[in-house]
Structure 1
Amino acid sequence: MPIKILKFGGTSVGSHLAMEQAYRIVQQNTNGNKLIVVLSACSGVTDTLLKISEMCLDSNRTETNQLVEELENRHIQLIVDLFRDGYKTAQCIKTVNFIFESLKKLIEGVRILGEITPKIVAEILSYGEILSTNIFYQYLLQKELSCYLLDAREVIYTDNVYLNAKPDLAKISLNGTKITNIFKNYKIIITQGFIGNWSKETTTLGRGGSDLSSALFGYSIDAHEVQIWTDVDGILTADPKIIPNVQVVRKMIFEEVGELSFFGAKVLHPETIKPAIAKNIPVRILNTFNSKFEGTLILPPDRAKELTGVFHSLIFVGTSVLVSKRLDTDSKDAHFYFNLLQKNFPNLIFFAGNSNNFYAIIKGSILSNFLHELLQTEKIETRTVEIIAIVGNQVLRAQEEEQNKIYEILTSFSDYLALPFPLIVSDYSLLLVAKPTLGMDLLKESHSILFS
């Protein structure tokens, strides 16, 4: 029977209405599948827990205690709004009260010891996911869905970097047998994202950790698909705040997600889905609140032939510095300048050179006096520009129809361009270099041509 991983983010479990919708999605996926349901903490809860951890040692306990009380009341209200059965409501509130008593004792222990360590912070942060999964588990039981509540720390083994732990893939793979045994009696497993275990101590996987958790569970059990349920329809052709008529990218490959993230797009971070891609498990981005929409399917590279078209998304990278220099017989070679720029400019996002010249892009508009003087000493030219990244698959091998679209952009809007040609970053992206203040206009026109 196929195994699916369904991960629900904070907004997808952040209210009783969201949890009800998550339940419906789980129910719809039970037919013919076994499910591992991975939950984040309710939206905003991890930030509150982090604030509590930072305030534990304050001499004034009132504000810390108030934050804990507000958090407890929020979860109790969630239960009251979610459950319809008075007895089940009381039972779930009893569970949540017990969890909060444990949290309060942990905080008090920090006060007594007079110190807080990353290990303790990780323990405090884990309560968000423990709370959301306990509530959702009991809600599914009330709805007569037989399921098993699994502590993620029994499967997700990590190193001991408590607040940004690295998964131990070998141990996690071995722990897949625990899941196999549970599936002998249950079709649905509820578990936590974000948290892991090192030598029976709680660790956390860092920001975006719940997405990583879903991929790790998929890795451990060789799942058929990982679904990440969030509050957007999928990966878009551009930022909808800039372009109102954006489209959802139906399919893209893992490398394209990496390019989007590299250029600053707020999409799924590629590191979080690497374990799934390593086992050729497709990852689908879906909208909890528009569940009938098929979203974006992220495929392993060997399934690239399933993609439609070459160009899939545009990003306004922003104001940058275009660096260039003509090389002559007296000049140092391009390799020297690449090393020079790479060493001194962490925001270097592009470099290409040959025996005649080189071009480079440094993201951001302000150079320190030292770096400005360095470029002047080497007689390197600089210009302020705006950068648009076009992300796709095998951009260098685009068919004539797709190449003509790029040519149309370059010729029809040549007045917008600081360079009359695109800069090829990789097989998966190219850059358009616009004059200052004209980048947004070029982005809109380019989107119209590429995705009309």
Structure 2
Amino acid sequence: MLYSGGRLVVKFGGTSVRDDFREAVTFVSRLWDENEVALVVSAIKGVTDALLKFSRTGEGFEWIEKVHRDFAKKYGIPFETLAAPLRELKKLSREDFPSFEAYRDHVLSYGEWLSGLAFAEALRREGIQVELFEPWEILETDGNFGNARVDIAKTSRNLKVVEEALERGRVAVVPGFVGSYNGLRTTLGREGSDYTAAVLGKGLKARAVLIMSGVDGIYTADPRRVVSARLIPFVSYDELYVASKAGMKAIHHGAIDVVRGIPIIFGRTRDWSIGTIAGYESSSLPILVHRVAGEEAVITAVGVAEVPGFDGENGSELGIPLVRLTVPSARLGSTLNLIHLRLIADRISPPRALSIIRGGVSAGNV
């Protein structure tokens, strides 16, 4: 067992909810045996984009309903658990809100809320005591709809009810991505469920925040594009922040400062493994991050002062050196692989992910 007798915040991403729901439920159950667990969940993969389209055009509700109906059937959850909020969603009217942005965020909030309802029901069916919280009653934010910032002081006071649930032995389920401002629901931006998890980690004084997804952890580059990408065992908060701001999607960059001082553990839901621990230690490995904008792509090499054979813009942030290069989008893949080869590939052997639960934790090559 990675932790025993502690307080943990566990966040599952949308891919895990869609594809690895049973594994996620069992994972929480095992952690709950020996820990206090607060659970943060994302919308099912693809649902947020569909809700965004629905808010703009009024189209796509049937697809959203079908996804949740199929999900409920696949995982043995009564559809009645999800039916009422879906009916509410269908009846929403733009005219009932002071702005389109407020209406849009209200629509978007249903993705995480539906996932929270599903998780709470599944955990109850496993014999686990659960308390589900409406996130708009817990997280108070500013009025920047679509990319709201959490008011930590106000939210910390609201978290007392969550803490009380944990102390009573309940799994506290708090859907991610959503808060409120003056009674209106707000959203925290893409990867906003990470932000929710960080706020809970800080406010609840958690021993660790676990970010569970479909990949093992943080890599030296996107493994879908760079065949020699390597798992990074340890990454510093500063490295993680700089890489996230540059475009790495492993975590919402706003979450990092909130949770600084608490370990952030990145793992894969399917086999309950972890690959990266973020804290004050670093493996001192560069991270290649990229953004694509039309016909151009920007590559940022985080943690290096130069890229041999390439002319780029040198800089630094939080004391972390970095190099930015602009290349044609058509050459992104080949350029990433070449840069990675020159910077990283020959420096390390591939580390193994760690088991979180099965057989305990062994350092292995990490």
State the TM bucket, normalised to the shorter chain: 0.7 to 0.9
Match status 1:389 vs 2:301: yes
Percentage identity across aligned positions? 26
Tell me, yes or no, if the aligned pair for 1:214 and 1:226 is still in contact at 8 Å: yes
The DSSP-based 3-state class of the residue aligned with 2:286 is strand
1:434 Cα deviation from its structure 2 partner? 11
Q: For residues 432 and 128 of structure 1, do their structure 2 counterparts lie closer, same or farther at Cα, with a shift above 3 Å needed?
A: closer
Please state if 1:298 is matched with 2:278. yes
C-alpha change, 1:117 and 1:29, in structure 2 (3 Å) is: same
1:313 aligned to 2:204?
A: no
Secondary structure of the corresponding residue to residue 451 of structure 1: coil
**By how many angstroms is 1:430 displaced?**
4.3
Match of 2:54 in 1: 52
Partner of 1:6: 10
Moved over 4 A (4+): 112-116, 316-319, 432-440
Find the aligned partners of 1:135 and 1:313 in 2 and give their Cα distance.
39
Residues 334-373 of structure 1: per-residue CA shift (max 9 Å, x gap): xxxxxxxxxxxxx9xxxxxxxxxxxxxxxx979xxxxxxx
**Counterpart residue identity of residue 149, structure 2:** K
SS at match of 2:347: helix
Scaled by the length of structure 2, the TM-score of the pair is: 0.82
Q: CA separation in 2, counterparts of 1:101 and 1:318? A: 38
Distance 2:234 2:277 in 1: 5
Partner in structure 1 of residue 91 of structure 2: 105
The residue number in structure 2 matching 1:283 is 264
1:128/1:269 CA distance change after superposition, 3 Å? closer
Q: What does residue range 330-349 of structure 1 map to in structure 2 within 5 Å?
A: none
Name the residue aligned to 2:157: 174
Question: By how many angstroms is 1:264 displaced?
Answer: 3.7
Which residues in structure 2 correspond to 1:358-373 (within 5 Å)? Answer: none
Alignment partner of 2:346: what SS?
Answer: helix
> Would you say the 8 A contact 2:265–2:278 is kept in 1?
yes
What does the per-residue CA deviation read over 1:27-48, in whole Å, with 9 as the maximum and x for residues that have no partner? Answer: 2211321001100111111111
Which of 347, 361, 364 is the equivalent residue of 1:450?
Answer: 347
More helix by share: 1
Given that residues 33 and 187 in structure 1 are in contact (C-alpha distance below 8 angstroms), is that contact kept between their aligned partners in structure 2? no
Pair 1:71-2:54 in alignment:
no
Separation in 2 of the partners of 1:388 and 1:49? 32
Structure 2: stretches of 5+ with no match in the other structure: 350-366
**Quick check: 2:296–2:326 contact (8 Å CA) kept in 1?**
no
SS of the aligned residue for 1:144 comes to coil
Distance (whole Å) between structure 1 residues aligned to residue 188 and residue 83 of structure 2: 26
Change in 2 beyond 3 A, CA 1:268/1:298: same
State the Cα deviation string for residues 3-37 of structure 1 (Å, max 9, x = none): 1000001111114xx21011121122113210011
> Which consecutive residues of structure 1, in runs of 5 or more, have no partner in the other structure?
57-63, 84-88, 320-346, 348-363, 367-385, 396-405, 411-415
Contact kept in structure 2, 1:211 and 1:273, CA below 8 Å: no
Task: Report the aligned-residue RMSD.
Answer: 3.2
- State the alpha-carbon separation in 2 of the partners of residues 445 and 365 from structure 1: 22
* Contact in 2 for aligned 1:237/1:247 (Cα 8 Å): yes
Aligned-pair distance for 1:315?
1.7
1:183 alignment partner, SS class: helix
**CA 1:94–1:267: 2 relative to 1, 3 Å:** closer
Return the offset for 1:388: 6.4
Residue-by-residue CA offset, 1:388-445 (whole Å, 9 max, x unaligned): 62527xx8xxxxxxxxxx9xx96xxxxx3559xx956364224498999895534313
Q: Which of 16, 26, 29 is 2:28 aligned to?
A: 26
Within 5 A, what are the aligned runs for 1:435-446?
439=335, 440-446=337-343
2:184 to 197, 201, 205: 201
Mapping of 1:49-448 within 5 angstroms? 49-56=51-58, 64=59, 67-83=60-76, 89=77, 92-106=78-92, 109-110=93-94, 117-277=100-260, 280-291=261-272, 293-299=273-279, 303-304=280-281, 307-308=282-283, 310=284, 312-315=285-288, 389-391=301-303, 416=309, 425=316, 427-431=319-323, 439=335, 440-448=337-345
Which residue in 1 is equivalent to 2:352?
A: none
Q: Residues of 1 paired with 2:233 and 2:276: CA distance?
A: 5
Deviation at 1:115, TM superposition (A): 8.7
Number of residue pairs matched by the alignment: 338
What is the CA deviation profile of residues 106-129 of structure 1, one whole-angstrom value per residue up to 9, with x for unaligned ones? 1xx33x679962111111111111
Distance apart, 1:146 and its partner CA: 1.5
- On the 8 A contact 2:15/2:213 being kept in 1, the answer is yes
**Which residue number corresponds to residue 327 of structure 1?**
none
Greater relative contact order (Cα < 8 A, sep 6+)? 2
1-structure distance, mates of 2:220, 2:123: 36
**SS of the counterpart of 1:202?**
strand
Cα distance, 1:221 vs structure 2: 1.0
Structure 2 equivalent of residue 330 of structure 1: none
Tell me the distance in 1 between the aligned counterparts of 2:110 and 2:266: 26
Q: Is the 8 A contact 1:197 1:203 kept in 2?
A: yes
CA deviation string 1:284-307 (max 9, x = no partner): 11111232x3221110xxx33xx4
Q: CA contact under 8 A between 1:38 and 1:193: conserved in structure 2?
A: yes
